[in-house]
């Protein structure tokens, strides 16, 4: 950004300047965080008047701050100080609308002061949003500087999960076998998804333990089916498989049990849920600042996958991405972006890329090997001379093994403030897999992803 000011001596009545600004939902959250004004009417998810539409009203002082932006950067510019400002609000602005803020010099006052008219209009209909008069002290020294920058802001809002929830709510509630939900977290996540009409839970396990967890959480289990399985956690997981085969459940959700105990009955050749592909895990990550969700796979099941397993990892993730409405672009990760015979992951990545070219992996673009930087950053990809539709734009990241995947997912969660929805694919039905430390949003989003994936498959 280039700043050039105009001193008191340079100014004349009739001088004007203006800026255009599109109000975004993130603007409203930034203003709320910086000002402390948490009025729900100024956020994007509240319907205070109950008319079925969120208000999304831009705060009046946010709109007024556009005046300060013109005065401080254009007319008079750098060095300007406020003395007085009047504000009259004539209409309301909303997120998604463009505004034009205009100032005009009315007169030059004594002691280096300048009086300006200030207006904010909505250009689409020329509606006057705000008007007023500003008295400012104009700069006395010329200022000119190029490349003026301030730190960028990333709003820690999980807009992609919010969009997924909006897609899942109108769908029929997904009948879901919840295995051993006998602690507050796992039971609470299932009940929250039920209240949002995303799943219809069937609680499987020790009924007394489930009731105790509900009492501790202050939850009401009226109207929710409980299937008593007094034996082991594996027995409860086997019952979930049976409910799937009976057509009573269209998804399975992990409760308070080890992942191995949940998956072992599903791998049974007779009563399990195998359909031919390997079971693979996908984290759907909502990373603040990213334009779409990032899928990380496999970070939870396959420890050191061979090439055949990685083929299924790719295909399962592509299928899920397509269900979610994404254009799947698979970056197969390694430590380098060129094939190195000493690094097996780089060889596997190149083979997977060629397999996609030959139609052995379908539904998305697959490129590799890619290092993490040139998989997700277009600048890094260009620096390395990488071309194609994936480099710098990958939205599915296939990791070399569980160590790398687990580290990557947790770095995104705990350093980049991402939320992650976890799903096991390759079974007859989606398997919702959350860890004990996952947030309620993560559990709810996992259910939403399962529901969207299930009903997308039912339509094809």
CATH 3.10.129.10 residue ranges for the chain: 3-145
pLDDT digits 0-9 by tens, 197-217: 999 999 999 999 999 999 988
Tell me if the domain spanning 276-426 has CATH number 3.40.718.10. Answer: yes
CA 213 and chain centroid, separation: 30
For the cut 60, the answer to whether the pLDDT of residue 459 exceeds it is no
pLDDT digits 0-9 by tens, 173-200: 999 999 999 988 889 889 999 999 999 9
- Looking at residue 350, its pLDDT comes to 97
- Looking at residue 149, its pLDDT comes to 80
For the cut 80, the answer to whether the pLDDT of residue 115 exceeds it is yes
Q: Find tokens 């596997």 and name the residue.
A: 348
pLDDT band (50, 70, 90) for residue 46: low
Who wins on pLDDT, 98 or 56? 98
Q: Which tokens belong to 160?
A: 């992609």
From 156, 44, 162, 54, select the one nearest 448 (Cα to Cα).
Answer: 162
CATH 3.40.718.10 residue ranges for the chain: 276-426
- Looking at residue 442, its pLDDT comes to 86
- Looking at residue 162, its pLDDT comes to 86
Rounded distance between C-alpha atoms, residue 139 and residue 410, angstroms: 50
- Looking at residue 42, its pLDDT comes to 83
Give mean pLDDT, residues 141-146. 90
For the cut 90, the answer to whether the pLDDT of residue 26 exceeds it is no
User: If one looks up domain 3-145 in CATH, what number appears?
Assistant: 3.10.129.10
Q: Which tokens belong to 422?
A: 């976890």
Give mean pLDDT, residues 243-272. 94
For the cut 60, the answer to whether the pLDDT of residue 460 exceeds it is no
Are 374 and 381 spatial neighbours (Cβ–Cβ below 8 Å)?
yes
């Amino acid at each position: 950004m280039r700043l050039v000011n105009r001193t008191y001596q340079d100014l004349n009545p009739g001088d004007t300047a203006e800026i255009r600004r599109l109000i975004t939902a993130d603007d409203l959250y930034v203003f709320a965080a910086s000002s402390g004004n948490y009025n729900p009417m100024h956020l994007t998810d509240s319907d205070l008047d109950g008319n079925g539409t969120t208000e999304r009203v831009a705060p009046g002082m946010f709109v007024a701050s556009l005046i300060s932006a013109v005065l401080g950067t254009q007319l008079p510019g750098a060095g300007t100080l406020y003395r007085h400002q009047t504000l009259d609000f004539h209409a309301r602005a909303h997120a998604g609308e463009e505004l034009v803020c205009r100032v005009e010099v009315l007169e030059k006052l004594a002691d280096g002061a300048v009086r300006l008219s200030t207006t904010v209009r909505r250009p689409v209909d020329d509606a006057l949003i705000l008007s007023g008069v500003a008295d400012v002290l104009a700069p006395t020294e010329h200022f000119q500087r190029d490349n003026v920058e301030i730190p960028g802001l990333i709003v820690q809002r999980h807009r992609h999960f919010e969009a997924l929830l909006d897609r899942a709510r109108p769908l029929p509630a997904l009948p879901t076998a919840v295995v051993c939900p006998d602690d507050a977290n796992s039971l609470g996540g299932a009940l929250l998804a039920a209240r949002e009409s995303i799943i219809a839970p069937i609680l499987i396990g020790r009924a007394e333990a489930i009731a105790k967890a509900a009492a501790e959480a202050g939850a009401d289990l009226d109207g929710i089916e409980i299937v008593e399985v007094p034996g082991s956690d594996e027995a409860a997981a086997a019952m979930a498989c049976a409910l799937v085969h009976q057509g009573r459940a269209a998804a399975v959700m992990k409760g308070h049990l080890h992942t191995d105990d949940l998956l072992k009955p599903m791998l049974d050749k007779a009563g399990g849920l195998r359909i031919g592909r390997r079971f693979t895990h996908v984290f759907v990550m909502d990373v603040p600042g990213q334009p779409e969700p990032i899928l990380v796979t496999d970070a939870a099941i396959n420890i050191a996958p061979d090439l055949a397993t990685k083929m299924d990892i790719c295909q399962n993730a592509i299928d899920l991405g397509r269900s979610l409405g994404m254009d799947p672009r698979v970056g197969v990760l390694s430590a380098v972006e060129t094939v190195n015979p000493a690094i097996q992951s780089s060889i596997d990545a190149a083979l997977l890329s060629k397999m996609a070219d030959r139609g052995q992996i379908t539904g998305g673009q697959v490129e590799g090997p890619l290092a993490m930087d040139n998989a997700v950053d277009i600048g890094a990809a260009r620096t390395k001379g990488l071309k194609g539709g994936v480099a710098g734009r990958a939205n599915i990241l296939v990791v070399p093994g569980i160590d790398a995947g687990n580290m990557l997912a947790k770095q995104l969660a705990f350093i980049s403030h991402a939320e992650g929805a976890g799903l096991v694919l390759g079974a007859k039905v989606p398997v919702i897999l959350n860890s004990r430390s996952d947030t309620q949003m993560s559990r709810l989003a996992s259910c939403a992803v399962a529901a969207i994936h299930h009903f997308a498959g039912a339509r094809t």
